[in-house]
Amino acid sequence: RLATSKLVAPPKMDGQPDEAEWGSEPTVFMKDSKTKVFLRHDENHLYVSSFRPPIIDRRGQADKWQKRMTTRDSQVYRDDSLEIFLTDHEFDKVVHLAVSASGAQYDALSVGDKRETIRWNAEWRSAVAANEKGFATEVAVPWNLLAEAGLDRHQLRINFQINRRYNLGEALMYLGFLGREDCENFAPLGIGKTRDPSPR
- Give percent of the chain with pLDDT exceeding 90: 78
Residue 20 backbone dihedrals phi, psi, to 5 degrees: -65, -30
Contact 147, 156 (CB under 8 A): no
Residue 108 backbone dihedrals phi, psi, to 5 degrees: -155, 155
Q: Residue type for 77, please?
A: Y
- Residue 84: closest CA among 120, 124, 144: 124
CA 170 – CA 30 distance, rounded (Å): 7
| 105 C-beta neighbours (distance < 10 Å), count | 22
CA 34 – CA 52 distance, rounded (Å): 6
* Strand 134-142 relative to strand 125-131, pairing: antiparallel
> Is residue 195 pLDDT above 50, yes or no?
no
Q: What is the dihedral of CA 186, 66, 72, 46, to 10 degrees?
A: 40
Q: How far is CA 5 from CA 19, 51, 75, 126, 146, in A?
A: 14, 18, 31, 19, 18
List residues bridging with 109 in a β-sheet: 95, 118
CA 80 – CA 3 distance, rounded (Å): 26
| 182 C-beta neighbours (distance < 10 Å), count | 17
CA 105 – CA 70 distance, rounded (Å): 8
What's the mean pLDDT in 104-128? 85
pLDDT at 56: 81
pTM score of the predicted model: 0.92
At 118-169, the pLDDT tens digits run 577 899 999 999 999 999 999 999 999 999 999 999 999 999 999 997 778 9
Q: How many residues are present in the chain?
A: 200
